[in-house]
Amino acid sequence: MLARSLPMIGSRRSLRVLEHNALVYRAQWVMLLSGFFEPLFYLLSIGIGLNKLVGPLPVHGQFISYAKFVAPGMLATSAMNGAMIDSIFNTFFKLKISHVYDAILATPLDVTDIALGEVWWALARATMYSASFIICMAALGDAGSAWVVLCWPGAILTSLTFSCVGLAACTYVRTWQDFDLVTLVQLPLFLFSGTFFPITLYPQWLGEIVSFSPLYQSAALLRGLSLGQFDWIMIMRAGYLLAIALLGLYVAARRFKRILAP
């Protein structure tokens, strides 16, 4: 049933939602531009400070500097945070406060176009921000190899996953106080998804739980791409993220129909 429903989610009309968001942010270009400075501050703090305090770490039999270990994980985290902000916080404001979607539904667009359009917008921002992050990685010497360019589509896939999941989660948010629950989930993901240390350093039971985290799968995928370490498990990681994205988009479309459809 899921496979039959997914092709019906949205249409080319959803690009109008992308266009609407782009026009809104054109008047708020400072907020859009600020996202390009985030990777520079992240990577400088690691390279200047922690990289000198933490020694090389083993990754699949290869010892790499701490900065090269953390940088792909921070790229994954940045993609997650950007997607969550767009798909949960901004979407909640449009859904419950400004009622932008009610006005959009007065046009030929339908509810599924809105859901898919918001995902397109999150991906558009992820495309720009992840490119700037990777450029900073290369400029500061935090790229593991020339294969770091493949981290770009990997980061976009990460943004797709979390934007779809965030969009689905947004439909369950009732008040601003519920955002505390979002932080309750987001913070442990950030701290315990192998971003800062290999999960082999965790207790075995915790490492097994962390391995199911989409942020861990993303960080491991981007780290492998950055180092040029390709194996069959990389395909499984990408497939895992894509499956979660499709499930999240399906749930989001169904929930938007229930909330907005007359």
pLDDT in tens, 238-260: 999 999 999 998 898 888 888 87
Tens of pLDDT, residue by residue over 55-108, are: 677 777 778 888 888 889 889 988 888 888 888 888 888 888 888 888 888 888
pLDDT at 244: 95
Residue from 155, 162, 199 nearest 38 by CA: 155
6 pLDDT band, cuts 50/70/90, is: very low
What distance in Å separates the CA atoms of residue 216 and residue 254, rounded to the nearest whole number? Answer: 28
Question: Interior CA angle at 12 toward 169 and 14, to 5°?
Answer: 35
Q: Is the per-residue pLDDT at 9 higher than 60? A: no
Contacts of 9 (CB under 8 A, 6+ apart): 112, 115, 116, 249, 250, 253
- Using the structure block, give the residue that is written with the tokens 């969550």: 84
Which amino acid type is present at position 29?
Answer: W
pLDDT at 200: 82
Which amino acid type is present at position 165?
Answer: V
pTM: 0.85
Tens of pLDDT, residue by residue over 187-224, are: 888 888 888 888 888 888 888 888 899 999 999 999 99
